[in-house]
Amino acid sequence: MLNRETSKLYDDLERVLLGREEIAARVAELGAEITRDYAGKTPLCVGILKGATPFYCDLIRCIDLKLTMDFMATSSYGSATKSSGVVRLLKDLDHDILGRDVVIIEDIVDSGVTLQYLKENLKGRGAASIKICTLLDKPARRRVDLKPDYCGFVIEDAFVVGYGLDYDEVYRNLPDIGVLKEEVYTK
């Protein structure tokens, strides 16, 4: 794991918002909650590429159930730090979800447009249930009526990177989540 004291990547952060230990503890709690709620079921865990991958990998290892994995990828047009509200599906599921209990696993809910689109898209395919699990939630910026079923942390309205979250595809490998220095994206 990267060392927070010596890694140069951390020089681009204004501050660390959530440290790796805090994240790991909360992910374990979410895993335990999902384990309880889906007892006797075999949920299909759908990760949203690429941002959710570290969270996804850590979370599924805290869910003590038989489960299956699948992935979707979306992109939203817009500037690097603000989404436009137009969602494009880049990768669809590999498997049929008819009768399945689907848990969508996402890195962050911001305007909510991406997840609303994905939920609507999956609804028509006959899933038994669809729930949303997000690591981060920025409710201050919500533009649609969407509430995650499971949420790791509610955060302030700041642009964050790390633990899967990127700026221009960089910083996803930071083990912690931090607020990016404004000068990095206004340069």
Q: In what order do the strands lie in the sheet with 129-137?
A: 83-91, 68-78, 44-49, 101-109, 129-137, 150-154
Please tell me whether residue 166 binds ligand 5GP under the rule CB under 6 A.
yes
Helices (H), 38-187: 53-60, 113-123, 182-186
Query: Is 168 part of the annotated catalytic residue set?
Result: no
Please tell me whether residue 12 binds ligand 5GP under the rule CB under 6 A.
no
Complex with ligand 5GP: residue 26 or 41, whichever CB lies closer: 26
Please tell me whether residue 165 binds ligand 5GP under the rule CB under 6 A.
yes
Which of 114, 131, 174, 178 binds ligand 5GP (CB under 6 A)? It is 114
Phi/psi of residue 68, nearest 5 degrees: -125, 160
Please tell me whether residue 134 binds ligand 5GP under the rule CB under 6 A.
no
Complex with ligand 5GP: residue 66 or 143, whichever CB lies closer: 143
- Which one of the spans 58-66, 91-99, 122-130, 161-169 is the region binding ligand 5GP (CB under 6 A)? 161-169
Contact 93, 36 (CB under 8 A): no
Structure token pair of residue 162: 């790390």
Q: Interface mask (CB under 6 A) for ligand 5GP, residues 82-111, using x and -?
A: -x----------------------xxxxxx
Distances (CA, A) of 5 to 10, 112, 161, 163, 179: 8, 34, 17, 17, 16
Contact 40, 17 (CB under 8 A): no
Structure token pair of residue 141: 């910026």
Binding residues with ligand 5GP: total (CB under 6 A): 18
Residues annotated catalytic, as ranges: 110
What residues line the site for ligand 5GP (CB under 6 A)? 51, 76, 83, 106-114, 159-161, 165-167
